[in-house]
Amino acid sequence: MPLTPEQLRTFDRLIARRRDLLAGKLGPERARPRDPPARRSADEPAPEVDDPPLEDAIADLEDAEAARDLQELRELDAALARIADGTYDRCIDCGRDVGVERLGALPTTLRCVDCQRRDEARPAQPDLPEG
Ligand SMILES: [Zn+2]
């Protein structure tokens, strides 16, 4: 059964609150979607590459917890977007209703129980070469 508008509003509030909590913990710098790096002095010519990905990787390693929080933040954002879309309670794999009970337990879940089980049953690294 699809979610009622009232249930959707409840999830929206729940997720938005959790999102705000995480965003506050991470700080505005990390919670924001990727922006260009801060302005440099106008007198200096801007270097060709001013945002090396390596820097991000190191920052992530140094702060694994923040990386996890950031990941959750993304999932919460995606859930809020799906609520806005009207696709929140629909399984991304089979298109059936995920169900309010499952969403209640896992508000950021993307799949129904069946598809999730199938997804988890898949080998973690199917492309691993033999030998
Ligand atoms: Zn499904």
User: Which pLDDT does position 25 carry in this prediction?
Assistant: 87
Residue 117 falls within a domain, yes or no?
yes
User: Which pLDDT does position 2 carry in this prediction?
Assistant: 85
Residue 44 falls within a domain, yes or no?
no
User: Which pLDDT does position 30 carry in this prediction?
Assistant: 62
* Tally of domains in the chain: 1
Which stretches of the chain drop beneath a pLDDT of 70? 28-52, 57-62, 124-131
| Domain containing residue 74: CATH number | 1.20.120.910
CA distance 80 to 94: 20
User: Which pLDDT does position 115 carry in this prediction?
Assistant: 95
Residue 47 falls within a domain, yes or no?
no
Residue 112 falls within a domain, yes or no?
yes
Measured in Å, residue 117 CA sits from the centre of ligand 1 at 9
User: Which pLDDT does position 15 carry in this prediction?
Assistant: 97
User: Which pLDDT does position 34 carry in this prediction?
Assistant: 55
- Which range of residues forms the domain containing residue 18? 5-33+62-121
Angle at 99 between CA 98 and CA 102, to 5 degrees: 90
User: Which pLDDT does position 119 carry in this prediction?
Assistant: 87
Residue 40 falls within a domain, yes or no?
no
CA distance 44 to 49: 14
Measured in Å, residue 1 CA sits from the centre of ligand 1 at 14
Measured in Å, residue 43 CA sits from the centre of ligand 1 at 56
Residue 39 falls within a domain, yes or no?
no
